[in-house]
Amino acid sequence: MTAGPYLDSPPLTEEQRVIVEQPADAMVLVTAGAGAGKTHTLVRRVESLVSDEGLATGDILVLTFSRAAVRELRERLSRHGDRSRHVRVTTFDSWALEILNEVAADIEWKTRSFDERIREATKVVADENRAPEWLDELRHVVIDEVQDLVGDRRELIEVLLESYDCGFTIVGDPAQAIYGYQVTDPDERTIETNRFFDWLRSYFVDDLVELSLTRNFRASTEEACSALSFESTMRGCRTLADAERAHEELRLELATRMDFGDITVPFIRDSLCVTDITTAVLCRTNGEALLISEWLHDAGIPHQLRRAAQDRAVPAWLNELMHADQGALTLARQRFDELYPSLPAGAGRENDPERVWRLLCASTRERAGRSVDLSRLREAISAGRLPDELTAQPPHHLVISTFHRAKGLEFDRVLVVDPGQITVEKDDLSADVADRARALYVAMTRPRKELYRLEPPPGARPVENGFRLVRKDRRTGRWARFGYQYWKRSGLELLGGDIHPHHPAGSHQIDGDPVSLQEHLRSRTAPGDSVVLERIDDVHEDHEERLGPGYALTHGEHAVGVASERFRRDLYRHMQQSRSYQPRNWPRRITDLRIDNVETIAGERAAAVHAGLGELGVWLAPRPVGLGRFHYDRTEKGKD
Ligand SMILES: Nc1ncnc2c1ncn2[C@@H]1O[C@H](COP(=O)(O)OP(=O)(O)OP(=O)(O)O)[C@@H](O)[C@H]1O
């Protein structure tokens, strides 16, 4: 194996080397604990399959669960891999979509649910007459985080491994299984735990090579190691009582960690602002993450709120790249190389230009690699076809995340918010309570060096005086602020897609010069800036489609966007006390929102031309985030 690309990568241990050097047709199952170097070993395994076992990059398929994991693996492959850097790494969902787009391109698969697509792809893979030919070339499948492979995705992989004669390297940690509500049927949820492991062992009974990794490399201090002793407890939680006990024991362990302290105290605040170490604040629910983000914002601490994996944003630098030469319809490789160094920072910019160029060519199906057709790039943006490397959140030194979303990640310092005691209801499942215990275990095994407890002040907690004032609104699935009175509505979460995607700012419902508003978004708007939604009209009285009123998003003096129909529909449903009730009293302003980032939007070409923004139909739009707070007119009933 060549040593060059691995000079800055840790050497393999004997246990890791045995996995890496298995033959290409071996069927390998690796179980390993948190921080045991599973991902590190997989990267070296993939490189060995190409360099030592002679597989072509197209013979290997690397499947992972989340986009975060795709990004992590690709990043490590491009940093440490040599020939393997071009191996296909994708999520189960993207891979299923690719199969369906190939065999039934006339169907609008994007509009179908993830689960439906997975089920359809399983049928295609099982049918040798329909399966795409390139599946025959598959010689090795690599799967990371296999403990989360449940339900429809598990069936897809079982069918793949039964139907194709290929080797595999499958890696997982049963102690970190937090698949949550991926499986909706409660009975199914209980039997899914460990089901894929059991299937592998029984189906490949004679051929399966079972290996394990036993040493932890992540945690370099005693405190960072503190949760690791719970690994076997986490693997063994099967009954409700086990799961409850495991959760309480982990909480007790957390209680012995030092409290991080009050972040408004200057020296504690400053320690969160240092950029040369990475810190994560981890909590149980997204509602809590929103409140903590608000608290940090008020204390003037820059941070990033971790988005859901499926919530993607196209970075602003793509808009700059596409509009660099007025009227140009293609972008040549040489011109790309000239422009790339001066493009603004953002998702994907940490990649080298060669990698970004390849990704752009792949997204526009440009095989020769000499130029990129900008209309096709616009279509790729509009159809959501850009790869995760260009749309995932860029790295940040301070991340606020739920336990679930922190899976597979590591940080120098981790601050864990105590999730509180589980109050088990009679219809709670052991699988769900175990899921909560394992989620806390995942959180507590993320630090490299420091692990603290964090106790947010009462205002940054969802419960006040015993009332759950911040909770998920059942009708919209958004986090919302409620009041002590049942009818009170005090705020709603903003999501990606809440700013109208069809019209650039200034060209629809609000006044302004679209060209100068684009300049404002480009050069005078930054992540973390406060923004406000201001009501601009009255409720839409169409009985078919009940929408809340229109809102403009303002950044200082400038109206930089308008609320989308989806936001207005959700607002209407949220304000309805019951299905027959027609809300009349609408918030005048919605505050406590911030700019997450400015993103590239592919909207209607005619709208762009009309606004003087060129022919491509691509422009910049703000993406607000936060748990909005409603302000009503004082004269109106239900004022705040
Ligand atoms: N042989 C090794 N020597 C030194 N460091 C190593 C070795 N193997 C892995 N590491 C380091 O240990 C850390 C954890 O590795 P990795 O992320 O691959 O673990 P993991 O098993 O995938 O973790 P988790 O399941 O908890 O997300 C990384 O910083 C990695 O560089």
Q: Give the pLDDT score at 638.
A: 46
Nearest CA to ligand 1 atom 11: 217
- The pLDDT tens digits of the residues spanning 238-249 come to 788 888 999 999
Q: Is the CB of 73 under 6 A from ligand 1?
A: no
Distance CA 452, CA 412 (A): 11
Do 140 and 165 share a domain, yes or no?
yes
* CA–CA distances in Å: residue 75 to residues 80, 218, 400, 405: 9, 18, 22, 18
Do 303 and 332 share a domain, yes or no?
no
Alpha carbons within 13 A on the beta-carbon side of 508 = 20
Q: Is the CB of 462 under 6 A from ligand 1?
A: no
Distance CA 251, CA 111 (A): 42
| CA of 69 relative to ligand 1 center, distance in Å | 14
Q: Give the pLDDT score at 407.
A: 86
Contact by Cβ (8 Å): 159, 126: yes
State the closest ligand 1 atom to the C-alpha of 446, by its place in the atom list counted from 1. Answer: 26
Contact by Cβ (8 Å): 45, 287: no
Instruction: List the single range of 15-29, 376-390, 393-407 with lowest mean pLDDT.
Output: 376-390
- Bridge partners, residue 141, by sequence: 61, 168
* CA–CA distances in Å: residue 441 to residues 38, 408, 419, 437, 618: 17, 12, 11, 6, 43
Based on C-alpha coordinates, what's the Rg of the chain?
Answer: 25
Do 590 and 617 share a domain, yes or no?
yes
Determine how many CB atoms are found less than 10 A away from the CB of residue 526.
10
Q: Is the CB of 390 under 6 A from ligand 1?
A: no
Q: Is the CB of 64 under 6 A from ligand 1?
A: no
- Bridge partners, residue 393, by sequence: none
122 belongs to a structural domain: yes
Question: Three-state SS string across 520-581, please?
Answer: HHHHCCCCCCEEEEEECCCCECCCCCCECCCEEEEECCEEEEEECHHHHHHHHHHHCCCCCC
571 belongs to a structural domain: yes
| Domain end point (choices 430, 463, 496) | 463
Tokens at 91, concatenated: 């999520």
Probe residue for ligand 1, chosen from 218, 225, 278 as the CB with the greatest number of ligand atoms within 8 Å: 218
Q: Is the CB of 12 under 6 A from ligand 1?
A: yes
370 belongs to a structural domain: yes
State the closest ligand 1 atom to the C-alpha of 216, by its place in the atom list counted from 1. Answer: 12
Distance CA 201, CA 174 (A): 14
List Cβ neighbours of 562 (8 Å cut-off, separation of 6 or more).
499, 500, 503, 505, 508, 509, 510, 536, 550, 551, 552, 553
Give me the numbers of helices (H) and strands (E) for the chain, helices first please.
22, 24
Q: Is the CB of 10 under 6 A from ligand 1?
A: yes
- Give the residue from 533, 532, 541, 538 showing the smallest Cα distance to 585: 538
| CA of 198 relative to ligand 1 center, distance in Å | 26
Q: Binding site: residue ranges?
A: 32-39
pTM above 0.80, yes or no: yes
488 belongs to a structural domain: yes
Residue 6 pLDDT level (bands cut at 50, 70, 90):
very low
pLDDT reading at 190 higher than 80: no
Tokens at 188, concatenated: 């199914």
Probe residue for ligand 1, chosen from 17, 18, 39, 405 as the CB with the greatest number of ligand atoms within 8 Å: 39
Q: Give the pLDDT score at 72.
A: 72
| Average pLDDT estimate for 220-232 | 93
Distance CA 363, CA 455 (A): 45
Contact by Cβ (8 Å): 522, 528: no
- CATH code, 304: 3.40.50
Nearest CA to ligand 1 atom 4: 10
| CA of 152 relative to ligand 1 center, distance in Å | 29
Determine how many CB atoms are found less than 10 A away from the CB of residue 285.
18
How many domains are contained in the chain? 4
Name the more confident of 442 and 429: 442
Do 521 and 609 share a domain, yes or no?
yes
Nearest CA to ligand 1 atom 3: 10
Q: Classify strands 140-143 and 167-172 as parallel, antiparallel or unpaired.
A: parallel
Q: Is the CB of 217 under 6 A from ligand 1?
A: yes
Do 169 and 44 share a domain, yes or no?
yes
The ipTM, to two decimals, is 0.94
Probe residue for ligand 1, chosen from 20, 31, 39, 40 as the CB with the greatest number of ligand atoms within 8 Å: 40
- Count Cβ atoms within 10 A of the Cβ of residue 479 and give its class: 0-12 exposed, 13-18 middle, 19 or more buried: buried
Share of the chain above pLDDT 70, in %: 92
Tokens at 630, concatenated: 């409603």
Contact by Cβ (8 Å): 99, 125: yes
Question: In the block, which residue shows the tokens 């910019």?
Answer: 349
- CATH code, 324: 1.10.238
Instruction: List the single range of 109-118, 179-188, 473-482 with lowest mean pLDDT.
Output: 179-188
Most confident of 9-23, 413-427, 541-555: 9-23
The dihedral through the CA atoms of 199, 174, 73, 79 has a sign that is negative
| CA of 217 relative to ligand 1 center, distance in Å | 5
Q: Give the pLDDT score at 632.
A: 94
Contact by Cβ (8 Å): 453, 258: yes
* CA–CA distances in Å: residue 296 to residues 136, 303, 460, 528: 52, 8, 10, 11
Do 458 and 559 share a domain, yes or no?
no
Residue 429 pLDDT level (bands cut at 50, 70, 90):
low
Distance CA 293, CA 297 (A): 6
Contact by Cβ (8 Å): 63, 95: yes
Q: Is the CB of 173 under 6 A from ligand 1?
A: yes
Name the more confident of 583 and 218: 218
Name the more confident of 84 and 29: 29
Question: Three-state SS string across 437-482, please?
Answer: HHHHHHHHCCEEEEEEEECCCHHHCCEECCEECEEECCCCCCEEEE
| Average pLDDT estimate for 546-561 | 94
Q: Is the CB of 408 under 6 A from ligand 1?
A: yes
Nearest CA to ligand 1 atom 8: 37
637 belongs to a structural domain: no
Q: Is the CB of 445 under 6 A from ligand 1?
A: yes
Q: Is the CB of 34 under 6 A from ligand 1?
A: yes
| Average pLDDT estimate for 54-76 | 80
State the closest ligand 1 atom to the C-alpha of 173, by its place in the atom list counted from 1. Answer: 25
| CA of 202 relative to ligand 1 center, distance in Å | 29
pLDDT reading at 82 higher than 70: no
Rounded to 5 degrees, φ, ψ at 393 are -65, 135
State the closest ligand 1 atom to the C-alpha of 445, by its place in the atom list counted from 1. Answer: 26
Do 173 and 257 share a domain, yes or no?
no
Q: Is the CB of 227 under 6 A from ligand 1?
A: no
Residue 5 pLDDT level (bands cut at 50, 70, 90):
very low
- Give the number of residues written for the chain: 640
State the closest ligand 1 atom to the C-alpha of 11, by its place in the atom list counted from 1. Answer: 1
Q: Is the CB of 44 under 6 A from ligand 1?
A: no
Q: Classify strands 551-555 and 558-562 as parallel, antiparallel or unpaired.
A: antiparallel
| CA of 404 relative to ligand 1 center, distance in Å | 19
636 belongs to a structural domain: no
Q: Give the pLDDT score at 4.
A: 42
474 belongs to a structural domain: no
Contact by Cβ (8 Å): 354, 348: no
| Amino acid code (one letter) for 343 | L
Rounded to 5 degrees, φ, ψ at 72 are -60, -45
3-class SS at 600? Answer: strand
Do 100 and 47 share a domain, yes or no?
yes
Q: Give the pLDDT score at 181.
A: 59
247: containing domain: 222-309+394-463
List Cβ neighbours of 349 (8 Å cut-off, separation of 6 or more).
315, 317, 343, 356, 394
Distance CA 334, CA 581 (A): 61
State the closest ligand 1 atom to the C-alpha of 16, by its place in the atom list counted from 1. Answer: 1
Nearest CA to ligand 1 atom 13: 218
Name the more confident of 616 and 104: 616
Instruction: List the single range of 102-116, 383-397, 526-540, 565-579 with lowest mean pLDDT.
Output: 102-116
Probe residue for ligand 1, chosen from 19, 146, 217, 231 as the CB with the greatest number of ligand atoms within 8 Å: 217
Question: In the block, which residue shows the tokens 């959760």?
Answer: 247
Q: Give the pLDDT score at 2.
A: 35
pLDDT reading at 310 higher than 80: no
Most confident of 75-84, 238-247, 310-319, 516-525: 516-525
Q: Is the CB of 36 under 6 A from ligand 1?
A: yes
Q: Is the CB of 74 under 6 A from ligand 1?
A: no
Distance CA 170, CA 161 (A): 11
Contact by Cβ (8 Å): 5, 50: no
Q: Binding site for ATP: residue ranges?
A: 32-39
Distance CA 286, CA 293 (A): 10
State the closest ligand 1 atom to the C-alpha of 9, by its place in the atom list counted from 1. Answer: 31
- The pLDDT tens digits of the residues spanning 147-174 come to 888 889 999 999 999 999 999 999 999 8
Do 367 and 298 share a domain, yes or no?
no
Most confident of 180-194, 250-264, 537-551: 250-264
Do 517 and 412 share a domain, yes or no?
no
- CATH code, 62: 3.40.50.300
pLDDT reading at 482 higher than 90: yes
3-class SS at 373? Answer: strand
Nearest CA to ligand 1 atom 2: 10
Q: What is the chain's mean pLDDT, rounded?
A: 88
- The DSSP-derived string for 269-286 is HHHHH-SSS-EEEEESSH
Question: Three-state SS string across 11-64, please?
Answer: CCCHHHHHHHCCCCCCEEEEEECCCCCHHHHHHHHHHHHHHCCCCCHHHEEEEE
3 belongs to a structural domain: no
pLDDT reading at 501 higher than 70: yes
Q: Give the pLDDT score at 573.
A: 92
Nearest CA to ligand 1 atom 23: 35
| Domain end point (choices 363, 390, 417) | 390
Do 258 and 407 share a domain, yes or no?
yes
Distance CA 208, CA 27 (A): 5
Do 186 and 286 share a domain, yes or no?
no
Contact by Cβ (8 Å): 416, 447: no
| Domain end point (choices 213, 244, 274) | 213
Q: Is the CB of 33 under 6 A from ligand 1?
A: no
Distance CA 23, CA 434 (A): 36
